Every structure is written in structure tokens, then in C-alpha cells.
């Protein structure tokens, strides 16, 4: 797996730039990753990202939009406002998680 340096941290990523090591993630890094894709983080953004971070170790999979809305309590419409165009991918990218599969 290639490594890259973001915000001064060296991290392991896959060929699409998604982090591959859950434990390498920090909030600072999340902030830097968000900046990479033009997302300015607000409390509401963090609420979604923290849900993804908490959910992943239990589920072993990145939460889908439906899961973030039904279990995490943030309506899908709002996720499209917070992370425009491709919310599922953008959230996973910022949260340092694999791209959600939700699509087998």
C-alpha cells in the first residue's frame, strides 16, 4: 500500500486515496482530508464523521447513507448539503474509512 503525507502526517492509503489504517486517523487528519476535497468542517459535519468512526469497528463496513440517516439520525437530504454530490464517498474519505461497499 502506498503512503502519502497529508497535513504533516504520513498515512497509508489505497490507490484512490482512501486511508487503509483505521488507527492512523485523528481529528486533525480528518480536517486536513476534508480540506483536500473542499469541505469546510462544521459541528454538523463532525457529527456525521464521528458516527462513521464509531459505527465502523462494530460493523466492519463503512456506514451507507441510509445507515447514517436511520441509525445516525442525519437526514439524507442534509448529507447531500453537507457533502455535496457524493456524500457517501466524501464522508468515508474524511473519516479515514474504506469506500462504502453498499453496492454488491
CB of 68 to another protein, least distance (A): 9
Interaction site with another protein (CB under 8 A): 59, 61, 64-67, 70-71, 76-77, 79-80, 84-86, 89, 101-104
Asked if 47 contacts 64 with a C-beta cutoff of 8 angstroms, the reply is no
Residue 42 or 103 having the CB closest to another protein: 103
User: Cell numbers of 67, please?
Assistant: 445507515
CA torsion through residues 64, 89, 101, 7, sign: negative
Pick the catalytic residue: 5, 8, 40, 103? 103
Does residue 103 carry a catalytic annotation?
yes
Residue 9 or 89 having the CB closest to another protein: 89
Amino acid at each position: 500500500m502506498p503512503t502519502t503525507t497529508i497535513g504533516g502526517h504520513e498515512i497509508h492509503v489505497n490507490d484512490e486515496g482512501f486511508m487503509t489504517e483505521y488507527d492512523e486517523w485523528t481529528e486533525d487528519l480528518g480536517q486536513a482530508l476534508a480540506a483536500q476535497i473542499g469541505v469546510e468542517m462544521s459541528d454538523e459535519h463532525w457529527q456525521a464523521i464521528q458516527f462513521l468512526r464509531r459505527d465502523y469497528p462494530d460493523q466492519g463496513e463503512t456506514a451507507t447513507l441510509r445507515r447514517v440517516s436511520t441509525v445516525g439520525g442525519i437526514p439524507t437530504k442534509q448529507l447531500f448539503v453537507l457533502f455535496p454530490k457524493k456524500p457517501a464517498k466524501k464522508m468515508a474519505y474524511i473519516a479515514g474509512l474504506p469506500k462504502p461497499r453498499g453496492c454488491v
